[in-house]
Amino acid sequence: MRSDTREGAPVKAKRVPRAQREQQMLDAAVRIFSRSGYHAASMDEIAEACDVSKPMLYLYLGSKEELFAACIRREADRIISAFASAADPSLDPGEQLFRGLTAFFGFVAEHRESWIVLYQQARAQGEPVVEDVTAARHEVVTAVTALLRRGIREAAGERTRADGEDTGPDRGEAAAMAQVIVGAADSLAGWVLDTGPEPPEETARRLMSIIWIGLEPRLRGARYEG
Amino acid sequence: MRSDTREGAPVKAKRVPRAQREQQMLDAAVRIFSRSGYHAASMDEIAEACDVSKPMLYLYLGSKEELFAACIRREADRIISAFASAADPSLDPGEQLFRGLTAFFGFVAEHRESWIVLYQQARAQGEPVVEDVTAARHEVVTAVTALLRRGIREAAGERTRADGEDTGPDRGEAAAMAQVIVGAADSLAGWVLDTGPEPPEETARRLMSIIWIGLEPRLRGARYEG
């Protein structure tokens, strides 16, 4: 690796630690990929956007394919963290879901480019990138499933009828419920990006008004007020 | 075009009308694409699977890319028809939605290969195939939106409160609701294919139990019984 530092030249810009420099490279890459698409984006363009040489970009993050995969992993981790960090086990499952969804829609609103790369471009790249996206989605589904299982357990007392039959969901049904919620949230996030921004709480409340209180009560005027 | 008919040879197999022959070619193509993936699938393999010569396959349906696009358009039309043909305007919106979803899940269960090609492979092909899939999805969303608008209109009377405020959904909200339903249905269809078959009514009832009556009542034991 050659040194770019010349005697007497300002060295400040060169002293950025590697980890931080890599994050800057990823920021630039996500921006360029989301604008130009994977195929049209060039390593030259990305190197220029983060103000490093192309050899340094290759040295730090590998080929264009590897760079794209690194972008996907980082953005997927960020979305999972946004959702998970909003969770507060002291809250009831509905409130927790509302907060998680608000954090998720907030992330998508703020990181529009991450979403485009993750949801529109990553799927078009085939394996192994699709595998990373699938794994990330699975992680979110698992978190939602756990949340719903707690709700199912907590409501068990309310469900015990005189004849002993429990018509409520069982623990297995929580997985299907989680798929519904995650699929609905993905779809609604895309809709908000297409139709125009709104506060993330508002988007989360829309979704909760359907999945939590239900469309039938919603048509009659009920609204999720969390 | 050369004639394959030799004097004295049985001609029965050659007398299939073009439209019918094309459908057979598309059937074979969907089967091969779903198994092998777009890139690995070969025109040789597809021609063999539908028992025609490769030149005839090219003559009727064009290049591999054009053949794939034709598969996507046919399968998308089929899903739209399955959903739409279940609609009966004399039913209330909830019942109609339940029937549409049952038809949709029934189609996916019976045409697993169509679903794989449409949902997993088509998205990976870039434009113009992605455009066809997006247009098909838009058509379903539009049908669901119309259904919900009717529900919103019909429930308006129930929502008029003493102070005149209507806290119910407005016509614009129907579009967001439709996105939620379609996204949830896609996600649940994929889940059923991954985890194992169940009667389509059962899948539709799962979804209705969440989106129509709501998770909160569902946790307490309420269930959609349509």
Per-residue pLDDT tens digits for B109-136: 999 998 888 877 777 776 677 788 888 8
Each residue's pLDDT tens digit, A183-224: 999 999 999 999 989 999 999 999 999 999 998 888 888 888
Q: Say what angle helices B129-154 and B64-85 make with each other, to 10 degrees.
A: 10
A10 pLDDT more than 70: no
Q: Any CB–CB contact under 8 A between A126 and chain B?
A: yes
Domain A71-219 matching CATH 3.50.50.60: the answer reads no
ipTM: 0.84
Say whether pLDDT at A115 is over 90.
no
Peptide bond into A197 cis (omega under 30): no
Are B220 and A187 an interchain contact pair (Cβ–Cβ within 8 Å)?
Answer: no
CATH 1.10.10.60 domain position(s) in chain A? 13-62
Nearest to B191 among A179, A185, A218 (CB): A179
C-beta atoms of A180 and B123 within 8 A: no
Q: Tell whether A177 lies on the interface with B, counting CB pairs under 8 A.
A: yes
Cβ-Cβ contacts under 8 Å for A26 (sequence gap 6 or more): A61, A67, A70, A71, A74
CA distances from B165 to A224, B151, B158, B169, B207 (A): 16, 18, 12, 12, 31
Nearest CA among A193, B226, A226 for reference residue A207: A226
Residue A176 has pLDDT above 80, yes or no: yes
- Residue in the block written with tokens 């949230």: A185
Which of B179, B211, B223 to probe by mutation at the A interface, max A CB count within 10 Å? B179
Give per-residue pLDDT as tens, A41-99: 999 999 999 999 999 999 999 999 999 999 999 998 998 898 888 878 889 899 999 99
| The pLDDT of residue A2 | 47
Averaged pLDDT for residues B159-171: 76
- Which part of chain B is CATH 1.10.10.60? 7-62
pLDDT over 90 for what percent of chain B? 54
* Nearest CA-CA distance, residue A153 and chain B, Å: 9
**Distance to chain B for A196, nearest Cα, Å:** 12
Q: Other CB atoms closer than 10 Å to residue A123's CB: what's the count?
A: 16
Which CATH number is correct for B7-62, 1.10.10.60, 2.40.160.60, 3.30.300.30, 2.40.50.140?
A: 1.10.10.60
Q: Where in chain A is the domain with CATH 1.10.357.10?
A: 71-219
Q: Is A90 on the interface with B (CB under 8 A)?
A: no
Class of domain B73-158+166-226: mainly alpha
Whole-angstrom CA distances from B7 to A199, B10, B14 are: 75, 9, 13
Q: Taking the CB of residue A132, how many other CB atoms lie within 10 A of it? A: 19
Would you place residue B83 in the very low, low, confident or very high pLDDT band (cuts 50, 70, 90)? confident
Nearest to B71 by CA among B11, B15, B123, B31: B31
Domain A13-62 has CATH 1.10.10.60: yes
Q: Which residues of A touch B210 (CB under 8 A)?
A: 177, 180-181, 211, 214
